[in-house]
Structure 1
């Protein structure tokens, strides 16, 4: 009997724990993913902080960067092929791909797509005469392919781009915001920038004294950040001899990305330099509440549009792929409260470090994935993965968030009018970059206001005419009465 009671209590406890777990982790059908990633490994951008200048491919994607995204594409295919029912052959209603207008981001997207939509699955040609396949050109080349449209069954997939000034979603902190340069300039003069530079002055001095790096004597945080960016590019180029040479000057340079976050390595020079790189990124672009909220507003607006359009059957894309930069990943991370310059400073000082503080820089091919689910009650919830690891979201310890909650959370992290905050006006006081629908709303509103004014003026005019008519009639009546009295007095 005692054993039965114990078994019954254990069973109850197990069911209770299971019920709690199920409540915390709702089960649902995966409907859509929105993936945003940084480009793969690239050549360094310039020579402003490093003397070795034997290259001409500044900022271009390396072969290693192509491979990184090809593997990421295959990895994501393995993860999502069944729940998203990914087709082997590209279908334009399944995936939408957009990139910033840089070679390295466009090529990264193409490399990842090659890992998702493989060779031998391209479109085929059936029973079509050669006269419909040959371009109007003399002595055209011959190909061996008779089955696929392109040799090997290669699948060309469209990648959409916009000019920098129009790319608000992925580059909301750059050219699309007129006030961005002004905000950045103010940040460099701020007390926080000055204080944090003092905290890193020892490592700055050590790097200045090492002639290997060719830094100027008054090098600051920004100069060190440029150096780190260059060394990261050098490291991922994979030249072992070169990396060993640099490691003689930078303690811990050969640490892996996983080792960067280990407490026992925190005082290594390379970890500190990485922390400088990340801190400068946030102190420059996402320091003030206005910068933080404004920059990420277009991204969150579009993200919610993706979700709502799919839910309401306005669009059918199950995969939205966005190719961008480390600054974009950092922008979204701070908007999701995964990191901030404030928490990075606490990491530097090793004091009261919050649990939601990603303090390593967004490395090559770093990615954030938003997953949209539908539960058994037809309610929608999301999960967010940073480099494949689920994150706590919506200001809680939960690794999921219902869409209604997420909408509320987004309101606290954004501004109501991006263009207004950025001061995007021209000489005619018209907001630049308005969408057609937004412009139509403004024009409609102006037409209504104008119509109301016209009607009001007509009412005033008619009222004035009636008043004048009544006054004249009154005066005429008084005049006649007076004449009658005059005539009467003369009888």
Structure 2
């Protein structure tokens, strides 16, 4: 198992040889104006959703805690933060300012910690931001914003959206999914026989098994012999299918990514008109592989491969070099540290540099502006409307009753008792 390295030593010891180039797209597509960045957290321990016969399910094998960020995950995101700093050298000021960058994370520890260590790589304290002669020269606190999962409509889709759950469950009746499960029934039976799992949800339970085995193999734990027949190959196929399911249909795409896309579009529209306040340059979402896959698949640019740790999607707003007062969006996917992010063309856009208005038109069918209305069926919305009307009537009756009784009370109290 990997040794534990103190963060201060980690921050001071990592050396990276960056190339001299900063923003490689500026020359061809225009100067950067605003960036939305969505990334996955770094390496983590198993989540605790292990299989019954797992020899490493005891938490003693995971001293950092189930689902928590590992030292390898910290290092990976610190290096990624330095990479971002290099790419945006001419875009982001060297000193941190809340007017330049905004960071939002899901309320999951590993996502928050990944954002924190990524920011440590981006913003080493300089000059007056050095707050003492020790750690203060290496690291500075930068705010990370988060809200509870049950009220997070942009990054934590599904659990708090009844319509999503209904549409998602309906996939079990989809002929393609049924055929997929039929093609993998031998794998499912093999898993049941050897892992001790019941597989109440064939695809997702198999995906959780794949995830557990992947993490354990990354920790150099010796996997049971029976796993060699299905891991990684056959289990990886099932895991890849699981990541497409949350955005498998147009309505699922909308319910999965609609709120996030609405935020992205609104920020860019405000940035174009100079009305984004504060005038943020980089808006970061620290999230999970499911978020990365769902955004890519909603935009129809997903490669159907599992997003690795620290996988990132860059949506960059640029001033069009060829047309005055025109803006374009470039979308890049970074899924490895050994290659520049892959520039992707969104279907419906005429170029990899998609005109902002064209981009808005392409994603318009996915945009969600009224989350509550979209997440409830028409019957539920009608019920809530009737309930609301009834509540208003009850309030009105209560007010009238109060006014009427107040009048009687005043009349009663205002009597001249000396006349009786």
Checking the alignment, whether the CA contact within 8 Å between 1:42 and 1:60 is kept in structure 2 is yes
Match of 1:429 among 379, 384, 387: 384
Give the match for residue 154 of structure 1: 139
Among 70, 87, 93, the residue aligned to 1:62: 70
Residues in 1 aligned to 2:165 and 2:200: alpha-carbon distance in whole angstroms: 23
1:90–1:155 contact (8 Å) kept in structure 2: no
For residues 354-373 of structure 1, what are the structure 2 equivalents within 5 Å? 358-373=303-318
Task: Give me the whole-angstrom Cα distance separating, in 2, the residues matched to 1:397 and 1:274.
Answer: 34
Distance change in 2, residues 1:73/1:194 (3 Å): same
User: Quick one: structure 1 residues 48 and 234, their matched pair in 2 at CA, closer, same or farther if it must change by over 3 Å?
Assistant: closer
Q: 2:236 — aligned with what? A: 274
Cα distance in structure 2, aligned partners of 1:36 and 1:170: 10
Q: Does 1:405 align with 2:358?
A: yes
**CA distance, structure 2, for counterparts of residue 251 and residue 414 of structure 1:** 43
Q: Is 1:393–1:400's contact at 8 Å kept on the other side of the alignment? A: no
Q: CA deviation at 1:229?
A: 1.6
* Counterpart-to-counterpart distance in 2, 1:158 and 1:393: 33
Q: Given the alignment of the two structures, is residue 419 of structure 1 paired with residue 419 of structure 2, yes or no? A: no
Render the CA deviation track for 1:226-261: whole Å, top value 9, x for unaligned: 10121222233x32xx1xx22854459xxxxxxxxx
When residues 47 and 296 of structure 1 are mapped into structure 2, their CA distance, relative to the original with a 3 A threshold, is closer
1:356-406 deviation digits (Å, cap 9, x = unpaired):
xx1211121111010110024221001101111111114357322010110
User: Aligned partners of 1:71, 1:232: CA distance in 2, in Å?
Assistant: 22
Does the C-alpha gap of structure 1 residues 411 and 92 become closer, same or farther in structure 2, counting only changes over 3 Å? same
Match of 1:264 in 2: none
Partner Cα separation in structure 1 for residue 31 and residue 104 of structure 2: 25
Within 5 Å, which residues of 2 pair with 1:234-273? 234-236=216-218, 238-239=219-220, 242=221, 245-246=222-223, 248-251=225-228, 269-273=231-235
Deviation (angstroms), 1:291? 1.2
- The answer as to whether partners of 2:125 and 2:136 remain within 8 angstroms in 1 is no
- Tell me which residue corresponds to 2:418: none
Whole-angstrom CA distance in 2 between matches of 1:310 and 1:396 = 21
Distance in 2 separating the partners of 1:226 and 1:413:
29
Residue in structure 1 matching 2:108, options 102, 105, 130: 102
Aligned-partner SS, 2:57: coil
Shift of 1:197: 0.6
Please tell me whether residue 309 in structure 1 is matched to residue 291 in structure 2.
no
Instruction: Give yes or no for contact 1:32–1:371 (8 Å, CA) kept in 2.
Output: yes
| 2:185 pairs with 1:230 | no
Q: What TM-score comes out, normalization by structure 2 length?
A: 0.74
TM (normalized to structure 1)?
0.64
Per-residue CA deviation, residues 321-375 of structure 1 (Å, 9 max, x unaligned), is 1101111112101111023xxxxxxxxxxxxxxxxxx121112111101011002
Does the CA contact (< 8 Å) of 2:349 and 2:362 recur in 1?
A: no
- Out of 57, 68, 71, the residue aligned to residue 79 of structure 2 is 71
The whole-number CA distance in structure 1 between the counterparts of 2:348 and 2:211 is 32
Q: Which residue of 2 aligns with 1:191?
A: 175
Q: In angstroms, what is the RMSD of aligned CA positions?
A: 2.9
Asked if 1 retains the 8 angstrom alpha-carbon contact of 2:192 and 2:198, the reply is yes
Indicate conservation of the 8 Å contact 1:122/1:155, yes or no: no
Do 2:77 and 2:118's aligned partners in 1 also have CA atoms closer than 8 Å?
yes
SS, match of residue 292 in structure 1? helix
Match of 2:165 among 155, 174, 181: 181
Highest Rg: 1 or 2? 1
Q: How much does 1:191 deviate?
A: 3.4
| Match of residue 96 from structure 2 | 90
Partner of 2:232: helix, strand, or coil? Answer: helix
The answer to whether the Cα contact below 8 Å between 1:40 and 1:65 also exists between their aligned partners in 2 is yes
State how 1:19-58 maps to structure 2 within 5 Å.
Answer: 26-49=28-51, 51=54, 52-55=56-59, 57-58=65-66
Once residues 389 and 226 of structure 1 are traced to their aligned partners in structure 2, the CA distance between those partners, rounded to angstroms, is 28
Q: How many residues align?
A: 343
Q: Secondary structure at the match of 2:31?
A: strand
Query: Given the alignment, which residue of 289, 292, 300 partners 1:326?
Result: 289
Distance (Å, rounded) in 2 between the aligned partners of 1:423 and 1:217 = 29
The SS at the match of 1:411 is: helix
1:290 is paired with a residue of what secondary structure? helix
Tell me if structure 2 keeps the 8 A contact 1:204–1:219. Answer: no
1:109-163 deviation per Cα after TM superposition (whole angstroms, max 9, x unaligned): 00110110114556257xxxxxxxxxxxxxxxxxxx4x69x73353110001112
